[in-house]
Amino acid sequence: MIAAAGKSSMPVSGLNDGRTAGYPTFRGLLSFLSGRVGRRTLLFLVLPAIFVSYFVALGIAMRFSPGPHEWRSETISKLLDPPRNPRAYWIASAGITLAGWLAIPFAGYIGRRLRAVAPIGSRVGTVIFGTGTAGVVLSGLIAYHGHARLPRLHTLLARGSAFALGVGMMVFWACLLAGCFRLRAGTPRPRRALAVAWTLLILSGPTAAVLSALAVEHRTREPAGLWEWIASAALFLFLLFSAWLLPGTETESAVDPAPTPGR
């Protein structure tokens, strides 16, 4: 009976192991996408991967484009047009998709570290910014078709994601600045370096993204491509400063303690 029991228990154990084999991997993926990652991971792994997958990939797609690509006036989406860039459109598409996927964790990472300043506003910013990164992924997966009869889904997603990312950055910035106007003694104040860096970026990046998203479809002399490259660079710097200057752990606050009376 003991031997039989031992034999019968082995298949059950193996079955349970098979059912839970992928569970830790799934939990790790969810933790990554929700922003439960360390500062070093973001600075030395995620951000370099974003730079390569976005800027380097778009540069390669531009280099192998059959015709000249005027980056100041032509939008980035033109690099994803198969008829226009048949040899390298997939490079731009894959790069944008990967970059958007790698940017998703920053929504939760930033939001959690701003809850001490603005509990509600930080959650709103997390949702908006996360929606923008998801839109980037979808816009990369859906190729641009400049002569399609149906509505240009890629264009709608690209403009919508740019608008959401810009608004999300502004919400996070407003949450950080909210601490600057707290005058009560002992109230935490935002870190000055982060506030200055975000303020400078807000004056350029989200403004360019919103202008590009709200611009009319047919533009002749407006620097449409230039706005998009400025917004892209500002977004990358926003992620860089966030990973660099925000606390490395969730237990720390994104603010510095204000001076108490008598000091």
List the end-to-end C-alpha distance of the chain, in Å, as a whole number: 78
Q: Which domain holds residue 92?
A: 38-256
The domain total for the chain is 1
* AA identity, residue 27: R
Q: Is residue 81 part of a domain?
A: yes
pLDDT for position 220: 44
Q: Is residue 27 part of a domain?
A: no
Q: Is residue 111 part of a domain?
A: yes
Walk along the chain (263 residues) and give the pLDDT tens digit of each residue: 444 444 444 444 444 544 545 556 878 888 888 888 999 999 999 999 999 999 999 999 999 988 788 887 788 988 988 888 889 999 999 999 999 999 999 999 999 988 888 899 999 999 999 999 999 999 998 876 655 555 578 888 988 998 999 899 999 999 988 866 664 444 445 577 888 899 988 887 666 666 665 554 444 446 778 778 888 999 999 999 999 988 766 555 555 554 444 44
CB 123 within 8 A of CB 111: yes
Element (H, E) at 34: none
| Whole-number Å distance between alpha carbons of 228 and 80 | 15
| Whole-number Å distance between alpha carbons of 72 and 56 | 17
- Tokens encoding 12: 């059950």
Q: Is residue 33 part of a domain?
A: no
| Whole-number Å distance between alpha carbons of 115 and 137 | 27
- Tokens encoding 144: 């641009």
pTM of the complete model: 0.79
pLDDT for position 130: 96
Determine the Cα angle at 144 with ends 223 and 101, to 5°.
90
In sequence order, what E strands does the chain have? 189-190, 255-256
| Whole-number Å distance between alpha carbons of 181 and 175 | 11
Q: Is residue 9 part of a domain?
A: no
Q: Is residue 6 part of a domain?
A: no
pLDDT for position 40: 92
pLDDT for position 73: 78
pLDDT for position 205: 64
pLDDT for position 101: 96
